[in-house]
Amino acid sequence: MELRQLQYFVAVVEEANFTRAAARLHLAQPGVSAQIRRLERELGHRLLDRSGRTVTLTEVGRAVLPYARAALAAVEGARATADEYAGLLRGQVTLGLVSGAATHEFDVASVVADFHDAHPQVEVSLREDASDRMLAALRRGELDIALLGLTASEPPPGVSLAVVVDEPLVAVVAPGDPLLLHEGRTEVPLAGLADRPLISLPRGTGLRGVLDEACAEAGFRPRVAFEAASPEVLTRLAARGLGVAVLPALPEETTAGLGLRTLTITDPRPRGRIALTWRTDGPPTPAARALLSTLRKHLTTGAP
């Protein structure tokens, strides 16, 4: 039995197709089929059912699959450990980013680029998505690290985090908005937005979750008239007088350039938080642990 046979077997199972598995492995399909037939002859059982439109596992195949994956993981772990002692990092790390994170005051792209320059044999894959979907992917092991928006004040179960951004939410309005009738006003109670059309990030984002929970605490359901994933789009909609944009505190030059006014939201005072997150048992590979350490060093303060 050879490790490559186990690798081919796992790839075919995951792709449910010999042709797709061969393409993923950058091999010819007949070669993959031949090696799996050799593996089946050696074990004395058919592992795959090839009779349908997709390839499925036989009963024996289902029993063998966990051992095949464990053997491949053990080999990868041994290689990673040896590389770690030699000061060499290699492999792949998958990093999730909340929409718009790369355009925030911290420059994630530059941090990742510098990390890749220092460790050219580590491939970093970036995925941008909503916070709730990234949190689920992190728990399933599909992401190694995620930079996402937080809804609750406590870390989600099974997840550790380091807060990167913690800012009060503000109401951003155009000149002449009814909220500005009181001269010199700098704050607005959340209940004062109950009957106003709101402009917010979509459902599934941490900020939207914070807004929904704060409104529930204040005794009303928010009337969200416009949604957009980009804070820049939200501010432009507010500038056209289409509603009140609810956002983390913005740089003064951003709001002044559009003639917008900012009011701090009170009673309660909701906050928008973005955090680096990872599974509590830690990123699974030395490469992922090294990238997490680099991100914490550059994006957070006081990180070890």
For the chain, the domains span 3-85, 89-304
- Percent of the chain exceeding pLDDT 70 equals 94
- Which phi and psi angles does 45 have, rounded to 5°? -145, 150
Q: What class does CATH assign to 89-304?
A: alpha beta
Question: pLDDT at residue 153 above 80?
Answer: no
* Structure-token pair, residue 110: 């530059």
The pLDDT tens digits of the residues spanning 180-238 come to 887 778 999 999 999 999 999 999 888 899 999 999 999 999 999 999 888 889 999 99
User: Taking a C-beta distance cutoff of 8 angstroms, is the pair 115, 154 a contact?
Assistant: no
- For residue 177, the model assigns a pLDDT of 92
- For residue 246, the model assigns a pLDDT of 95
**Average model confidence (pLDDT) for the chain?**
87
Provide the 10 A C-beta neighbour count for residue 247: 24
Strand partners, 274: 149, 165
- CATH code of the domain made up of 3-85: 1.10.10.10
CA dihedral 171, 172, 176, 181 (to 10 degrees): 30
Tell me whether domains 3-85 and 89-304 share a fold.
Answer: no
- For residue 271, the model assigns a pLDDT of 92
Over residues 43-53, mean pLDDT:
92
Pick from 30, 65, 33: which is nearest to 47 by CA? 65
Provide the 10 A C-beta neighbour count for residue 301: 9
Separation between Cα atoms, residue 108 and residue 101, nearest integer Å: 8
Strand partners, 248: 169
Over residues 275-299, mean pLDDT:
89
- For residue 77, the model assigns a pLDDT of 77
In the block, tokens 């490790």 appear at: 3
Highest-confidence segment of 120-124, 128-132, 263-267: 263-267
Which amino acid, 114? D
- For residue 66, the model assigns a pLDDT of 93
The model carries a pTM of 0.67
The pLDDT tens digits of the residues spanning 87-116 come to 657 788 999 998 655 545 667 888 899 998
Sequence-separated (6 or more) residues with CB below 8 Å from residue 227: 199, 200, 201, 202, 203
